[in-house]
Structure 1
Amino acid sequence: MRPTDPRPLTTGPEGGPESPFPIRLSGPVIEGFGRGSKELGIPTANIPLAGLSVGGHEDVESGVYYGFAGVSIDAQGNAIQPGRDSSEGVKGGVWPMVMSIGFNPVYKNKKRSV
């Protein structure tokens, strides 16, 4: 049975996110397994597992998380990699996202991925 009440505009504790959240990940977009976008029908991006080390989050629990993702693009249309000078011609945006950190049991992954 579907709920009849409207969804709340915000969720979670009144005091805001609890540790370890919010977390920040960073890294270049890398080649994945070649199946996510095709099977899900939406754009996907993978970053190296080392991206979890930003802010010391290597031990974050595997799961599905939501938040926001940003991508910076230079004047030639290339993604700006972390650490690259990006002072000229930067375009980009921030979008809502859903992210999986873990082993993706549907695909029987043996290696944790982001």
Structure 2
Amino acid sequence: MRFDQHTVVLLVRPADVPELPLDAVDRLQDAHLAHQAGLVEQGLVLAAGPFLGGDDERLHGFAVLSIAPDEARELYRNDPAVRAGRLTVRVMSWMVPEGNVRFESVPMPRSMLEAATGD
């Protein structure tokens, strides 16, 4: 059997998240979304999104990328939320039977306002 290999990035909230004023957190989230959207526009991120609920509240979100794990790790080190210490990055390879998963190219929101309104 043949397999497709993708890179998965888990975004995890560290135990010692720096305290910031709410407006700074909002600006940082917008910068995080803009960074993510830029990676999608470059064709590097195939799918991404936040986690809701679940047993581990530290798990913030994930992304599936079309590049090697080392390259993905470097890209996410430049994510504003990671640089600010609000998120940490875990990177791994994901193997699925060839053709089992397909990704459509769809735009990603560049801000919280865009995510909320769909504009």
TM-score bracket for the superposition, by shorter chain length: under 0.3
Tell me which of the two structures has the higher relative contact order, counting C-alpha pairs closer than 8 angstroms and 6 or more residues apart.
2
Relative to the length of structure 2, the TM-score reads 0.25
Greater per-residue strand proportion: 2
Larger radius of gyration: 1
Query: TM-score, structure 1 length as denominator?
Result: 0.26
